[in-house]
A and B are shown apart, each in its own frame.
Chain A
Amino acid sequence: MYNPVKPLPHKIVNVKKETDLEYTFRVETKTKVKFGQFLQLSIPKIGEAPISVSDQGIGWLEFTIRNVGKVTNEIFEKKEGDTIFLRGPYGNSWPIEKFKDKNLVIIAGGTGVSPVRGMINYLSKNKDYVKSLHLICGFKNKECVLFKEDLKVWANTFNTTFTLDNEESKGFKKGFVTAFIKDIPFNTFGEDYEVVVVGPPMMMKFSGLELEKCGVDINKIWMSFERKMSCAIGKCGHCRIDEYYVCLDGPIFEYRIAKDLID
Chain B
Amino acid sequence: MSYKLTLKEAQKLLDKLSLTYDIYAPKKLKAQGRYSDTDIIKYEKIKNIDEIEYREKSTYPMKEVISPIQQTIFYFTEDKYRESKVSTKPILVFSRACDINAIKVQTKIFIGNGGFVDYYYQRMYERIKFILMECDFESDTCFCVSMNANITNNYSLAVRFEDDGIHFEVKDKDFTNYFKGYPHSSFAPKFVMENKTKVHIPEIKDRNMLNKIKKSPMWKEYDKRCISCGACTIACSTCTCFLTRDLIYGDNSEVGERRRLSSSCQIDDFALVAGGGNYRTTAGDRMRYKVLHKFHDYKERFKDSHMCVGCGRCIERCPEYISITATVEKLNKEIERIEKEEASNV
Task: Please give the residue numbers on chain A whose beta carbons come within 8 Å of chain B beta carbons, in ascending order.
Answer: 1-9, 42, 44-49, 66, 68-72, 83, 85, 201, 226-228, 230-231, 233-238, 240, 242-245, 247-248, 260, 262-263
Q: Which residues of A lie under 8 Å from residue B18 when comparing CB positions? A: none
A234 touching B79 in the complex, CB below 8 Å, given contacts A228-B272, A243-B301: no
Q: Are A72 and B279 in contact (CB under 8 A)?
A: no
- Beyond the given pairs A9-B79, A44-B246, A238-B271, 12 more chain A to chain B contacts, judged by CB atoms under 8 angstroms and listed by A's residue number, are A5-B73, A6-B83, A44-B258, A70-B274, A228-B270, A228-B279, A230-B243, A234-B109, A235-B242, A236-B242, A262-B211, A263-B285
Neighbour of A1 across the interface among B110, B119, B243, B258, CB < 8 A: B119
A219 to B245, CA, bound (A): 40
Neighbour of B241 across the interface among A238, A244, A248, CB < 8 A: A238
Q: Which stretch from B191-199, B248-256, B320-328, B338-346 is at the chain A interface?
A: B248-256
A66 to B274, CA, bound (A): 10
Q: Are B74 and A6 in contact (CB under 8 A)?
A: yes
Q: Are A9 and B80 in contact (CB under 8 A)?
A: yes
Q: Mark B275-302, 1 if CB is under 8 A from A, else 0.
A: 1110110000100010011001110110
Q: Mark B63-106, 1 if CB is under 8 A from A, else 0.
A: 00000000001101111110100000000000000000000000
A4 touching B77 in the complex, CB below 8 Å, given contacts A227-B273, A228-B272, A260-B211: no
Q: Which residues of A lie under 8 Å from residue B55 when comparing CB positions? A: none
Q: Which residue of B lies closest to A46 (CB)?
A: B246
A46 to B245, CA, bound (A): 8
Interface check B244, CB cutoff 8 A: yes
B289 CB to closest chain A CB (Å) equals 8
A48 to B256, CA, bound (A): 15
A240 touching B293 in the complex, CB below 8 Å, given contacts A5-B73, A245-B113, A263-B280: yes
Q: Are A234 and B113 in contact (CB under 8 A)?
A: yes
Interface check B186, CB cutoff 8 A: no
Q: Which residues of B lie under 8 Å from residue A85 when comparing CB positions? A: 81
A235 touching B78 in the complex, CB below 8 Å, given contacts A47-B245, A228-B272, A245-B114: no
Q: Which residue of B lies closest to A111 (CB)?
A: B275
Interface check B117, CB cutoff 8 A: yes
Interface check B210, CB cutoff 8 A: yes
A262 touching B273 in the complex, CB below 8 Å, given contacts A9-B80, A83-B78, A240-B297: no
Q: Are A7 and B270 in contact (CB under 8 A)?
A: no
Q: Which residues of B lie under 8 Å from residue A245 when comparing CB positions? A: 113-114
B125 CB to closest chain A CB (Å) equals 12
A243 touching B297 in the complex, CB below 8 Å, given contacts A48-B244, A83-B79: yes
Closest 7 CB pairs of A and B: A69-B274, A237-B241, A68-B275, A234-B114, A248-B114, A233-B116, A234-B113
Q: Within residues 228 to 261 of chain B, which ones have a CB less than 8 A from any CB in chain A? A: 240-246, 248, 253-254, 256, 258
A sample of 15 inter-chain contacts (CB < 8 A) reads A1-B117, A4-B119, A8-B81, A44-B256, A45-B248, A48-B244, A227-B271, A228-B272, A231-B244, A234-B113, A238-B263, A240-B293, A262-B214, A263-B285, A263-B289
Q: Which residue of B lies closest to A1 (CB)?
A: B119
B184 CB to closest chain A CB (Å) equals 41
Q: Are B273 and A226 in contact (CB under 8 A)?
A: yes
A223 to B78, CA, bound (A): 37
Q: Are A237 and B274 in contact (CB under 8 A)?
A: no
A4 touching B76 in the complex, CB below 8 Å, given contacts A228-B273, A236-B263: no
Task: Choose among B114, B215, B276 the residue with the greatest number of A CB atoms under 10 Å from its CB.
Answer: B114
Q: Mark B203-224, 1 if CB is under 8 A from A, else 0.
A: 0000100110011000000000
Q: Which residues of B lie under 8 Å from residue A234 when comparing CB positions? A: 109, 113-114, 116
Q: Which residues of B lie under 8 Å from residue A260 when comparing CB positions? A: 207, 211
Neighbour of A263 across the interface among B83, B116, B210, B271, CB < 8 A: B271
